[in-house]
Amino acid sequence: MSANHNGRIETALSLIDRAKEAGADAVKLQTYRPDTITLDSDGEDFRIESGLWGGKTLYQLYSEAYMPWEWHTALFEHARKIGITIFSSPFDTTAIDLLEDLNAPAYKIASFEAVDLPLIRYAAATGKPMIISTGMADDEEIAEAIEAAREGGCKDLAILHCVSGYPAPPSDYNLRTIPDMIERFGLATGLSDHTLDNTTAIASVALGSSLIEKHFTLDRSGGGPDDSFSLEPQELAALCRDTSTAWEALGKIDYGRKSSETGNIRFRRSLYFVKALKAGDVVTADAVRSVRPGFGLAPKYLDRVLGKKLHRDVEINTPVTKDSVEF
């Protein structure tokens, strides 16, 4: 959901409803206050010079974007009532304390907080499952975040490949990193996707991504801090449908004939007699053809059939079989 509530709890509740309708498995909040995530300063370090939020200070941005803490109870209750998992990204220890009071089922560490190892340890100490996004983190920093989570007591950990651009171009994602992350870190790995459509997320499934995070809004033109790079409800529904289809299509290694192919042997090639012949006749090239359907011997046996004698009479347009010819 991020900042896409745009300061209205009614919008936040509607986002939960629409996420459920779209087929999402969970909705994630962000739990912070401006003064728990940054300092109220207009110094150079705190000014956003360019990009989507250019011209604001960090404090101004987060004052606009944050979700009031007094909303959390109502949002958690509503999500549980309609049957969709709800959890949050905490940005400091007081946020974790609040979320523990609400019995949050899991925690997500945002990419920019992946270097805050004390925060990771504090969240891990709850014993809840955790997800860590890895935008801007190199492999050493990812390993350190994982180690901190394990040291803190987390037993159920996943990581997300991420590019912390808002939006991020697909070319920056280098999705081939995902199978390397799976092998290198030995964890369930997914994608936090900041591209403007669903293609990157769907493609990631084929490379082993097992969970997808995507920003979600009711209206991309809503004017909020995150609206412009978020999915609208119909796009989220398409993402849920298409990633599920991609995951199902991956299946397993299987060279056998599939149930959907039942009956389609009629469209395969096989050897058929194109002349009526008598028992004892020699099979010649003008008497046999490779045609559809596939009820006769496979065409690979043509050389073994030619020049051989028939065991019995055969009619025109009947399949060549092992019991009809010397084989």
Average of per-residue pLDDT across 256-272: 95
Give the range among 6-20, 158-172, 214-228 with minimum mean pLDDT: 214-228
Residues 159, 109: Cα–Cα separation, whole Å: 9
Dump strand ranges (E) for 142-269.
157-162, 188-193, 212-214
What's the Cα-to-Cα distance from 44 to each of 64, 125, 266, rounded to whole Å? 20, 36, 74
Q: Parallel, antiparallel, or unpaired: how do β-strands 188-193 and 157-162 relate?
A: parallel
Average of per-residue pLDDT across 30-37: 97
Banded pLDDT at 53 (limits 50, 70, 90): confident
Average of per-residue pLDDT across 28-45: 97
The string of pLDDT tens digits covering residues 112-153 is 999 999 999 999 999 999 999 999 999 999 999 999 999 999
The pLDDT score that the predictor gives to residue 318 is: 98
For residue 85, report the phi and psi dihedrals to the nearest 5 degrees.
-65, 140
Residues 176, 129: Cα–Cα separation, whole Å: 26
Q: What rounded mean pLDDT belongs to the chain?
A: 97
The pLDDT score that the predictor gives to residue 166 is: 93
224 pLDDT higher than 90: no
The pLDDT score that the predictor gives to residue 135 is: 98
**Tell me, what DSSP letter sits at residue 38?**
S
294 pLDDT higher than 90: yes
What global pTM score does this model have? 0.91
Banded pLDDT at 249 (limits 50, 70, 90): very high
For residue 41, report the phi and psi dihedrals to the nearest 5 degrees.
-140, 145
Q: Considering the chain, what percentage of its residues have pLDDT values greater than 90?
A: 97
* Closest to 201 in 3D by CA, of 142, 249, 242: 242
51 pLDDT higher than 90: no
How is the chain split among helix, strand and coil, in percent rounded to 5?
40, 15, 45
What's the Cα-to-Cα distance from 152 to each of 64, 96, 181, rounded to whole Å? 32, 14, 21
Residues 164, 100: Cα–Cα separation, whole Å: 27
Cα–chain center distance at 184 = 19
Banded pLDDT at 223 (limits 50, 70, 90): confident
The string of pLDDT tens digits covering residues 265-274 is 999 999 999 9
- Complete domains list, the chain, with CATH: 9-250 (3.20.20.70), 260-324 (3.90.1210.10)
